[in-house]
Structure 1
């Protein structure tokens, strides 16, 4: 298996809902393990929270996420965005439509000065997504 780079997102207690939402958006297989699954007795009320989850899609995307572990501070920031790009406009517009539901659009999905169709939104879980549809050369 070759090396791969993929986003790993930390959530403040709603990782299960977020990852299930991303499964609805992108499809694929979602694997979820809770803190309790690994026998972490000290987890207490967090036993049902997500220690690790991984969504793998038929398009080759991998997205990982977890709830912030007990005793650690959740520090959301503006230092990460997730980018989805390619040439399949129908597929990418479908992702865009679903990601925007309940979220905020900061850049509408439209043709940009560099020639591609691009948009940016923040989903209902506070994650910023960039969608870029590459214009195919005639």
Structure 2
């Protein structure tokens, strides 16, 4: 079985909200484990924070994330690229991610011929959505 690369995002006390939002965008099965449920809480203020979250979509994407209660840094120096040929599905992802987002590049035809857009979502995560241009026969 080949290795897989899975994005793992870090949040500051809002991993549950973020992972539930991503489930509303991409669909799929979301599993959330709190520090308390994993017997790793170091105080009641950490009990309900997410130690590990995992979203597995029907299309085979896996996105993971957690709260990092000891850090003031979230995953803000990362970009996640989602690409494919299904423009309808990719456009739907774009529209849902665009809720309270900052658009860096509007979703439209890019200089290289694909349909592309880039935004920073309401959790500070940069997304690049790309619809691959059909290959010439």
Common topology (TM > 0.5): yes
Structure with greater contact order relative to length (CA < 8 Å, sep ≥ 6): 2
Provide structure 2 residue ranges, at least 5 long, that are not aligned to the other structure. Answer: none
Alpha-carbon separation, structure 1, partners of 2:41 and 2:121: 33
Does the CA contact (< 8 Å) of 2:25 and 2:93 recur in 1? Answer: yes
CA positional deviation for 1:78? 4.5
The CA RMSD over aligned residues, in Å, is 1.3
Q: Quickly say closer, same or farther: Cα 1:35–1:41, change in 2 above 3 A.
A: closer
> What is the count of residue pairs matched by the alignment?
136
Q: Quickly say closer, same or farther: Cα 1:78–1:35, change in 2 above 3 A.
A: closer
Matching residue of 1:124: 122
For residue 75 of structure 1, the aligned residue among 73, 76, 96 is 73
Which structure shows the bigger proportion of residues in helix conformation? 1
Does the CA contact (< 8 Å) of 1:119 and 1:132 recur in 2? Answer: yes
Matching residue of 1:50: 50
Alpha-carbon separation, structure 2, partners of 1:136 and 1:48: 46
Does the CA contact (< 8 Å) of 1:10 and 1:74 recur in 2? Answer: no
Tell me the TM-score normalized by structure 2. 0.94
CA positional deviation for 1:44? 2.2
Tell me the TM-score normalized by structure 1. 0.93
Provide structure 1 residue ranges, at least 5 long, that are not aligned to the other structure. Answer: none
